[in-house]
Amino acid sequence: MADTLNPTPWPLDHLAERGADDAAALILKAETLTHADLRERVGRLAAWLAREVPEKGARVASWAAKGELTCLMPLAAARAGLVHVPVNPLLKHMQVAHILADSGAAMLIGTPARLKSLEDSDVPAQCRLVEEQDALEQARALGERMPPSNADPDELAAILYTSGSTGRPKGVMLSHANLWLGAVSVAHYLGMAADDVTLAVLPLSFDYGQNQLLSTWYAGGAVAPLDYLFAKDVMKACAKHGVTTLAAVPPLWVQLTELEWSEDAIAPMRRMTNSGGALTTDLVRDLRGIFPDAQLFPMYGLTEAFRSTYLDPALVDTHPTSMGTAIPFAEILIINDVGELAASGEEGELVHCGPLVAQGYWQDAERTAERFKPAPVMSEYGGTAVWSGDRVRRDVDGLLYFVGRRDAMIKSQGNRISPQEVEEAALATGLVAEAVALGIADERLGQAVHLVVRAEPDADEPEAQLPKLLAKELPNFMQPQVIHWREAMPLNPNGKIDRTALKRELAA
């Protein structure tokens, strides 16, 4: 069902209508819903939402673990003419209070423990709190089923809040068209089919995580949502459900490659996708070794435009660190420092144009104007583009390579240093499993390079050997002034290494 690349967007809730009636759609702990069940329950939940929150365009938030409610809400809210605000279940009450106030949510549906963690001052006067199970039971008892909507695809469908690792979370506004075309694009280039089973391990409040649902349902396949404590839980779920599609971020991939995978978990796997950080050469090698018959899709994206690039799996072995090329419905331009199209090999800013570009930040015109600007004159799409702030380069074959965040570049002794280059040098030694390079204020140097690492479990004297090997591989100005060893890296709510937390700790 994902074979046809149709650029015409539909209302988001129509994704519930695509699968075969008797095919599995949602594999829950207690039951498996077919696509016929999915249609029924989306319709019932939408009818209940429309009755409880009759104002079109009102915001409804959900704050719960992965399950029936959180998986149905993106489609049910869209069908009811409401705007869904998924809240990461790992967030604490102060962050949730900001999201509720900023979005003006009329309702928050959550688990009892999470709702009880909120203080009276955290909940705006207009926001009703409803327990997750009560919402589902009331929707079933209502006995009504709302039919598919005829919403304008350009209408707002969701507000996804960033993790807030830099300042307060900001809400990215996504239309029906943004989400629909994102599902079509990913299902198409991944080659997804109706017999696919996707293990949804990423947070559903994360655009990459939510697309696990949407692209799979576009293809008519099944999703098995999983909240895991340990990497081994992911491996067991892959075997239990015959998972064919697994999406993750680099810290999780690192943990997964350290496991002894069973054949039951390996054999069904057709594809693995990565975003939220670059894969290293060693990580690519390890994943290809464990899953020799599965395709590996390195990808790059940003919430403001969902997804920008992917690397053809046929090129992964020869170009393991490349971001690839533009996904369907995306136009990717590299603009140099004088505002012109960068030449091959020249570094520039990645600018994303086309229909996947979000509608800006909710009620934040100032920050919207900083990132959402008119597309460069050479753009085929025109309109509004997202200026990513990420520095990349394009090689002579047209493949893109990440250089670093413009605002993350380390400036030491007058030199601009890419953190990724220092990190890759550390990883290449084979002594460390994870590495983060940061610039910490220094009176003499401007910024000093600090390297935070987690050792490979079987590394031989890594603390003694790493400085020696880096001295051989990196120029003097790139040498870490301090190496910090950690048993584990701090992670943000989306499962990525929390660079901001590390920098705050080291700068204290």
Question: Which sequence spans correspond to the domains of the chain?
Answer: 12-24+32-180, 409-507
> CATH number of the domain at 409-507, out of 3.10.620.30, 3.30.300.30, 3.65.10.10, 3.20.20.450?
3.30.300.30
Q: What is the pLDDT of residues 220-252, one digit of tens each?
A: 999 999 999 999 999 999 999 999 999 998 889
- Alpha helix segments (H runs only) across 22-90: 35-52, 68-79
Residue 277 pLDDT class (50, 70, 90 cuts): confident
* pLDDT value of residue 227: 96
Residue 101 contacts residue 123 (beta carbons within 8 Å): no
Question: What is the average pLDDT score of the chain?
Answer: 94
3-state secondary structure 362-415: CCCHHHHHHHEEECCCCCCCCCEEEEEEEEEEECCCCCEEEEEEHHHCEEECCE
DSSP 287-348: HHHH-TTSEEEEEE--TTTS--EE--GGGTTTSTTEEEEEPTT-EEEEE-TTSSBPPTT-EE
- 12-24+32-180 and 409-507 share one fold: no
pLDDT for res 418? 80
Nearest to 237 by CA among 259, 218, 216: 259
Q: Is 339 left (phi over 0), alpha (psi -120 to 50) or beta?
A: left
Q: Which residues pair with 296 in a beta bridge?
A: 272
pLDDT at residue number 95:
83
CATH code that applies to domain 12-24+32-180 = 3.40.50.12780
pLDDT in tens, 299-347: 999 899 999 999 999 999 999 999 999 999 999 999 999 999 999 999 9
Tell me if 8 sits within 8 A of 176, measured CB to CB.
no
pLDDT on residue 414: 64
Full-model pTM = 0.87
Tens-digit pLDDT profile for residues 420-436: 889 988 999 999 999 99
Q: Which pLDDT score is estimated for 330?
A: 98
